Amino acid sequence: MHFPIIASFSALILVATLLPLSRYTGWWIRDLDFPRLQIAVLALAVLAAQLLFLEPGEFESQALIAVTAACLLYQAWWIIPYTKIYRNEVKVSVNRGPADRIRIMTANVLTPNRRADALLALVHTYQPDVLVTLETDSWWQAKLDVLEDKYRFSMKCPLDNLYGMHVYSRLPLEDCATQFLVEPGIPSMHALVVLPSQQRVRMHFLHPAPPSPTEHDESTERDAELLVVAKSVAELDTPVIVAGDLNDVAWSTTTRLFRKISGLLDPRIGRGMFNTFHADHWFMRWPLDHLFHSHHFTLSFIKRLPAFGSDHFPMLVELIYDEAKGKGQEGLAADADDEALAEEKIEAEPVTVSDVHEPKA
């Protein structure tokens, strides 16, 4: 009696595991990168049911157990790096002066959300050096402009299409540019941030559109924007930070490819998932808000901040510029197949690496 039900769940898990192996860019395939944690939990529950209810000596039972266990291990391979049992990719900072510190807060505000007071309270409490807001329109800009007494440097692109972007900074911003790299109406921001030590840091803030039935049928636009920025920062001697809501999970094939091509590090590796979306549904949360950086930095701390009415939690990351200590840090390395795949994804959209604004330190 239990076999058909358990077999159906096993088949569902197998399909959800195999489909993302395809390079097909349709949203209904690529979005299966998101719930790897949920699929792994389901696989663990089904595996327990198999061991409890099926006859272990029967071939069909053994086959189902083997398939489900293999799917569980495969999904776990993607998500275990984002747990504390994995080694840290980014070293913990040693004591250095505030001149080498940069504290960045990112917040997707959800345009219809009107709790600007709650976000401003978080800014007051956590005192970021740089605040990056996403989905901010003219209403949000009017509310956030009260920060300009302390955050004297800014970049502003208010939009009513859920893709507005603002940057407010205590630290000087130089060589700034707001670009629409892949699509009209989808901005990205690029600038140099000058630390109190006078060290210049190249910053790229992104919020590409996701593959979804209401946005884009395929992931080509998102993938191209991420990878063209990745190639623009690859092998730079300049300190680099890339941050924003990438509309992709940390453990997706595209984000992994971004890390390989860019050479940037992920401070979440070995520390946690820091799931930021959806703030209202604990059982369906994913790490969509990211910060990657070059080896020039070590990590002081990383936090997911309290909810403020948006469907995203804000993120707060404090990095310390310490090139000597960070020199031995290594992320993922790209091979020839990775480079070819990145070129293929970029060529799917009308954008090239030379289109990306490259702030000069």
**CB contact burial 276-291 (16+ within 10 A = b; e otherwise):** bbbbeeeeebbbbbbb
- Give the closest residue to 223 by CA, choosing from 240, 189, 194, 248: 248
Please list, residue by residue across 159-178, b when 16 or more beta carbons sit within 10 angstroms of its beta carbon and e when fewer do. Answer: beebbbbbbbbbbebeebeb
pLDDT in tens, 257-283: 999 999 999 999 999 999 999 999 999
Say yes or no to pLDDT of 357 above 60: yes
Helix axes 36-53, 2-18, angle to 10 degrees: 150
Output the pLDDT for position 360.
Answer: 86
Domain 98-355 in CATH 3.60.10.10? The answer is yes
How high is the pLDDT of residue 55? 85
Q: What is the DSSP letter of 250?
A: T
The pLDDT tens digits for 219-231 are: 999 999 999 999 9
Q: Which of 102, 29, 110 is nearest to 288 (CA)?
A: 110
Residue-wise pLDDT for 143-195, tens only, equals 999 999 999 999 999 999 999 999 999 999 999 999 999 999 999 999 999 99
Q: Tell me the backbone φ, ψ of residue 203, rounded to 5 degrees.
A: -120, 140
Question: What percent of the chain has a predicted confidence (pLDDT) above 70?
Answer: 99
pTM: 0.96
Alpha carbon distance 272, 100 (integer Å) = 25
DSSP strands (E only) in the chain: 101-108, 130-134, 153-157, 165-169, 173-179, 188-194, 200-206, 240-245, 289-293, 297-304, 315-321
The answer for 166, left when phi > 0, alpha when psi is -120 to 50, beta otherwise, is beta
Q: Residue 156 — φ and ψ, nearest 5°?
A: -135, 130
The rounded mean pLDDT for the chain is 96
CB 201 within 8 A of CB 172: no
The larger pLDDT score, comparing residue 55 to residue 25, is at 25
